[in-house]
Structure 1
Amino acid sequence: MLELSVIETAFTPWQSLAGGVLIGLASVLLMLSLGRIMGATGILAGVLTPSAHPDKGWRLAILAGMVSGPLALLVLTGAMPAVEVPVSMPMLVLGGFLVGIGVTYGSGCTSGHGVCGMARLSRRSIAATLTFMLTTGLTVYIIRHVLGA
């Protein structure tokens, strides 16, 4: 049988608030400065697609910022952020594959739909975000209560 364990998450309201404010601010600044949506998968796809997106400079800058964040924390605090991944590598690969399918069929990810699309009152983004959240809740319920983790 599948062995599962309970994954507990710490309640960090101030860190969560700060992270949300920074994501919102970055999204607004990108929209104001370049008129672009801050959807992480779209930004990454624009870098990886050979000639479809000639505007790779700002995309690379955003991806560099996402990757260099932990390095900035290391410089400021002397420690890298703690990252715990309590699942096996096959589960990570499966999860990544499922997320890839979801963002393809949903025409975007949680950052594009949940942060930017909902702020623009896009019906499609509101429907997508509701679908993300309902699916997440159902998955957690099944894993914790049906499968007994």
Structure 2
Amino acid sequence: MSIDMANFTPGLSLAGGLMIGAAAAVLVLFNGRIAGISGILGGLLGSSRNDAGWRVAFLTGLLGAPVLASLLSKPISIVVQAGWTEVLLAGFLVGIGTRYASGCTSGHGVCGISRGSVRSFVATATFMASGVLTAYVYRHLLGG
């Protein structure tokens, strides 16, 4: 295995991780809510919109942080080697997975594990194993 040093960004990665952890901690400490993105977005799109303010603010920060990071540092070129059909299918499958797992990787992986939730440990292990298996099948068996 080799590291692509041209795209190796440990500083930005560390800063991003710290920002995610800080956002999750602030949300649970000051709002009593878990920073699960699928739950935050689902609550905003659902029938009860009485708590839309903090949801919109959180999602705005989630989308605004990469924009701010690109303004403060050298922009990173991201190349997605898939067409719109594959991207939409993948998003649909991830959405189904978050419904079955009662949460997404942010809710289970970042917040649930830090709270010691057994359900979150199992869900995160399942997410990771599925990703590893999918990458293996795609790269080694399908020739991707």
Give the TM-score category using the shorter length: 0.7 to 0.9
Write out per-residue CA displacement over residues 82-110 of structure 1, whole angstroms, 9 at most, x where no aligned residue.
Answer: 33221001000100110010000000000
Superposed counterparts of 1:67-86, under 5 Å: 67-73=63-69, 75-77=71-73, 81-86=76-81
Higher relative contact order (CA 8 A, sep 6+): 1
Mark the CA change 1:26 to 1:85 in structure 2 (over 3 Å): closer, same or farther.
same
For structure 1, the residue ranges without an aligned partner over 5 or more in a row are: 1-7
Superposed counterparts of 1:1-149, under 5 Å: 10-51=7-48, 53-73=49-69, 75-77=71-73, 81-149=76-144
SS of corresponding position for 1:104: helix
Equivalent residue pairs, number: 140
Query: Following superposition, which runs of at least 4 residues in structure 1 exceed 4 angstroms of deviation?
Result: none
Mark the CA change 1:142 to 1:15 in structure 2 (over 3 Å): closer, same or farther.
same
Paired letter, 1:105: Y
CA shift, 1:142, in A, is 0.7
CA shift, 1:73, in A, is 3.6
Mark the CA change 1:118 to 1:84 in structure 2 (over 3 Å): closer, same or farther.
same
CA shift, 1:80, in A, is 5.5
Could you say what the CA RMSD is over the residues aligned between the two structures, in angstroms? 1.9
